[in-house]
Amino acid sequence: MTEIVFWHWWVAGLLLLALEAFFPGAVFLWMGVAAMATGLVSWAVPGLGWQWELALFSALAIASFFAYKRFRPAAKPTDQPHLNRRGAAYIGRRLTLDTTIVNGVSRIRIDDTQWRITGPDLPAGTAVVVKAIDGATLVVEPA
């Protein structure tokens, strides 16, 4: 069996850091940091043995991941809470029906998009309020 030397750990650390670039989520990042630190210890303490190096890598990887989870900065509140959830932004909005709601289903144009709506049967021209969203369908009721 070949001996594991310090630069093996550094190469493994660089590969793990490269993986983090393709699969972000901070898991590979901290494993890469742990591998680099294990390489540094392996360089400073020659003849440590692969069992101890593997145990050190495991402990550092787990400890660094949980330290990151504990001390990472909190998510900042956004000024656009409905970004990527356009339908949720329409809840509470008052609209006028372009077409009649028949059998509880119709369509309505809002801004630049045509939406499917559900609600009680109502004639065209009736004012409605969006009360909820069900997937890509707006749930309306008379205003």
* Beta pairing, strands 94-96 & 127-134: antiparallel
* Residue 83 reports pLDDT greater than 70: no
What does each C-alpha distance from 143 to 2, 53, 97, 130 come to in angstroms? 77, 69, 11, 9
pTM greater than the 0.95 cutoff = no
Short-list 39, 44, 50, 45, CA closest to 16: 39
Tokens standing for residue 35: 């591998």
Give residue-wise pLDDT tens across range 119-136: 999 898 889 999 988 888
Per-residue confidence band for 86, with pLDDT thresholds at 50, 70 and 90: confident
Fold of 86-142: OB fold (Dihydrolipoamide Acetyltransferase, E2P) (2.40.50)
Give residue-wise pLDDT tens across range 14-54: 999 898 888 877 778 888 989 999 999 999 888 888 889 99
What residues does 138 pair with on adjacent strands? 117, 133
Q: Alpha-carbon distance 119 to 131, whole Å?
A: 10
Q: Which ranges in the chain are annotated with CATH 2.40.50.140? A: 86-142
